[in-house]
Chains A and B, each alone.
Chain A
């Protein structure tokens, strides 16, 4: 065997024969202890702040509904007129926003669903 080949063989053998580093101790107990801590620290699915936020939103919706039920009829009529005027203004001056909003919504939905569909396809192939 010529020298470079012999060298390569020595290197190859050294690489393959090098033993795994011996562990000073098993880490299983440490890992399991840390997992217990992680589990204990894991937050609940619903926290008190979630309940608080839900309560505030529900109160706002209820207040809005209550107010709308007790408005004077003249004020209701004025509000309705303002609403119609705003809608007409939108139809005349900002009609281009309709297709733009539709495309935006379509792009958003595509961005949400395409990765999930790709993942489902990959899972089905497996």
Chain B
């Protein structure tokens, strides 16, 4: 992190090599988030580039109040809002009816939890088919490992909305899994 801090400080002073190192380090995560939300390789690449160009322009204003990557997530999310005008509205419309803590199931041995590779593949497909609003939330939560509070701060949404969104995304996945299991019982 100290190394990153020094890269940021150098980049803030106009050192383009330092900024290139930051791009190298974070591009995969930024691209991943854009790709999950936009579902298009070229658009995601374009958006990731735009994110870093904007980050360069706004870098003098970065005060380190959040992590650099979280700051980049905020930029890429805002750009996603521009590309998908309904995304912001669909996130706001989630409401915040799930206010209790969402328990996360502990898995001692993940390999045993899958009856077959088919289940895993089915779930990956179901995740890909989720709406962009749910994809944004679960990508930030599970792939980028942000806390609920960090997601709420990044997306500038109430904490309850984040919890509701993730809860509903999981509900959809549960339904999809139930369909798969039904298809096993009644072929």
Q: Is B110 an interface residue (CB 8 A)?
A: yes
**Which residues in window 82-138 of B have CB below 8 A to A?**
104-105, 107, 110, 113-114, 119-120, 123-124, 127, 138
- A24 CB contacts on chain B under 8 angstroms: 41, 45
Partner of A7, one of B16, B41, B178: B178
- How would residues 8 to 49 of chain A score, 1 for a CB under 8 Å from any chain B CB and 0 otherwise? 111111111110110111111011101100100000000000
Pick from A5, A12, A34: contact of B53, CB below 8 A: A34
What residues on A are CB-neighbors of B53 within 8 Å? Answer: 31, 34-35, 38
Chain A: minimal CB distance from B111 (Å): 9
Q: Which residues of B lie under 8 Å from residue A31 when comparing CB positions?
A: 20, 23, 49, 52-53, 56
Number of interface residues of A (CB under 8 A): 32
Task: Give, as a whole number of angstroms, the nearest-CB distance from A29 to chain B.
Answer: 9
A8: chain B residues at CB < 8 Å are 105, 170, 174
Q: Closest residue of chain A to B110, judged by CB?
A: A13
**CB nearest to B141 among chain A residues:** A15
Which residues from chain B sit less than 8 Å from chain A, CB to CB?
A: 16, 19-20, 23-24, 27-29, 31-32, 35-36, 41, 44-45, 48-49, 52-53, 56-57, 63-65, 104-105, 107, 110, 113-114, 119-120, 123-124, 127, 138, 141-143, 170, 173-174, 177-178
CB <8 Å contact, B114 and A123: no
With A20-B143, A21-B35 given, is the CB distance from A10 to B123 under 8 Å?
A: yes
Are the C-beta atoms of B45 and A20 separated by less than 8 Å? no
3 interchain residue pairs of minimum CB distance: A14-B123, A15-B142, A8-B105
Q: Which residues of B contact A123 (CB under 8 A)?
A: 63
Contact yes or no, B104 A7, CB < 8 A: no
Residues of A within 8 Å of B119, CB to CB, are 10
Contact (Cβ within 8 A) B19 A35: yes
What's the nearest-Cβ distance from chain A to residue B67, in Å?
14
In the complex, are the beta carbons of A7 and B114 less than 8 A apart?
no
Cβ of A16: which chain B residues have Cβ within 8 Å of it? Answer: 142
Are A14 and B45 closer than 8 Å at their CB atoms? no
Closest A residue by C-beta to B144: A20
